[in-house]
Amino acid sequence: MAAFALRLVGLLTLTLMVIVISVWALTIGSSDIGIGGVVEALSGAGDERQFLVVTTVRLPRILAALLAGASLAVAGAIMQAVTANPLASPGLLGINAGAAFAVVASLILFDPAPTAVYVWYAFVGAASAAFIVYMLASSGVGGATPLKLALSGVILSVFLGSVTSSILIFDKTTLDNVRLWSVGSLSGRPMSSVVAVSPYIGLGIVAALAFSRQVATLSLGAEVARSIGQNITQWRLTCGVVVVMLAGSAVAMAGPIGFVGLVVPHMVRLAIGTDYRWILPFCAVAGALLVILADNLLRYALPARDIPVGVTMAIIGAPLFVFLARYRIGNAR
């Protein structure tokens, strides 16, 4: 029971930190609006300019960061549990690249649509990419080993990335629209696109939390899960749908942000152990915290430059990836 209380306190503390940092983030930006101004603007009492800046620029950005972080981290945790593979994550396995490619392709082939429409393209792209990578990696002996998964994910990402950039070279206007988005950026997200994806992300996270017991069973491995009486195929499929929904919506909103889905589950596991009933909620909160921190610390430290959060995450996440590859993988050769 002590462990339970401790974890609950931890979860609440993290949530509190997310709230505090979000409020702090509302005060960061090129126009000088203090905490009082933010409160005034949110309650509708402040002047017109403050209201506009806070509600149309800063609030959407923060909500996008929270949603993207939470959904990518939960998606990564589920993937790691289901594939029993410490390197599984939406970015590494080409899911983000697939969704990004589908969105760019739809922008070129059809007229510009609101986010509510192209989130569906992102779903289709994410699902196809996940399917291809997993098929390629799990064929043959040994199933989906970390090496084969990572290689096929990289290959698919490189391929789709190249096709995407060759489309973009051809089409300058679309390039301008998606250049920032395609490296994973939270800047300039309109409120409408945040609102458009939030139902899917909300549904995905609720589903993930509701099924966390089944995810925990899956994480014990196929034999154990089957002997406990779990319908593995059914739950794997469910988990796949949830992952595609979460990662697809996050990409449709903020572009392919890598490494969140890889790093956060590992940090959480290091902190609280291997029980996925706790890992999933912790991942949701910690993912939101990490992304909003990464985005806003840089915005605070280097106000003149807008560094895409995807780049920041890669710089934080890649060393951890190397660490994992060194100490967790390859002992078995």
Partner 1 sequence: MRKTVLLLNIGIFAVFVLSLRLGDQPIPYSQIIGVLTGDPDAAVAAQLIVLEVRLPRAILALLVGMALAVAGAIIQTVMRNPLAEPGLLGINSGGALAALILIVYFRNESAHLVPWAAFAGAFVMAAAIYGFSWRSGASPVRIILIGIGLGSMAGAGASFISAFGEIAVVQQAQVWLAGSVYNAGWDKVQVLAIWLVLPFVLTMAASRELDLLSFSEMSARSLGQRVEIARAVLILLCTMISGAAVAAAGLIGFIGLISPHVARRFVGHSHHRMVPVAALVGGFLVLTADLIGRTVMAPAQLPAGIVTAILGAPFFAFLLWERRYVRS
Binding site for partner 1 (CB under 8 A): 87, 136-137, 139-142, 145-148, 150-152, 154-156, 158-159, 161-163, 165-166, 169-170, 183, 258, 305-308, 311, 314-315, 318-319, 321-322, 325-326, 329-330, 333
Task: Kindly tell me the number of DSSP H helices and DSSP E strands found in the chain.
Answer: 15, 0
Contact 218, 235 (CB under 8 A): yes
- Which of 46/308 has CB closer to partner 1? 308
Question: Is 278:14 a contact under the CB 8 Å cutoff?
Answer: no
Where are any strands of DSSP class E within 96-245?
Answer: none
Give, in order, the Cα–Cα distances in Å from 189 to each of 28, 214, 223.
16, 35, 45
Nearest to 74 by CA among 286, 277, 280, 270: 280
Rounded least distance, CB 161 to partner 1, Å: 8
Name the residue nearer to partner 1 (CB basis): 180 or 232: 180
CA distance 158 to 156: 5
User: Shortest approach of partner 1 to residue 201 CB, angstroms?
Assistant: 25
Contact 122, 251 (CB under 8 A): yes
Minimum distance of partner 1 from residue 168's CB (angstroms) = 10
Residue 183 is given by DSSP the state G
Tell me the two tokens of residue 138: 């799990």
Q: Please identify, using beta-carbon distances, which residue of 14 and 264 lies nearer to partner 1.
A: 264
Q: Buried (b) or exposed (e) across 17-54, using 16+ Cβ within 10 A? A: bbeebbeebbbbbeeebeeebbebbbeeebeeebbebb
**Using an 8 Å Cβ cutoff, are 89 and 261 in contact?**
yes
The CB-of-305 to partner 1 minimum distance in angstroms stands at: 6
Q: Which is nearer to partner 1, 7 or 266 (CB)?
A: 266
Residue 164: CB minimum distance to partner 1, A: 10
- Distance of closest approach, residue 95 Cβ to partner 1, in angstroms: 16
DSSP secondary structure string for all residues of 104-135: HHHHHHS----HHHHHHHHHHHHHHHHHHHHH
Complex with partner 1: residue 13 or 162, whichever CB lies closer: 162
CA distance 279 to 282: 5
Pick 17 or 180: Cβ nearer partner 1: 180
State which residue, 29 or 202, has the beta carbon closest to partner 1.
Answer: 29
The nearest distance, CB 150 to partner 1, in angstroms, is 6
Angle, nearest 10°, between helix axes 95-109 and 232-254? 50
| Smaller CB separation from partner 1, 69 or 281 | 69
Instruction: Report the nearest approach of partner 1 to the CB of residue 104 (Å).
Output: 14
User: Taking the complex as a whole, how short is the minimal distance between the CB of residue 212 and partner 1, in angstroms?
Assistant: 29
> How far is Cα 132 from Cα 159, in angstroms, rounded to an integer?
12
Which is nearer to partner 1, 86 or 190 (by Cβ)?
86
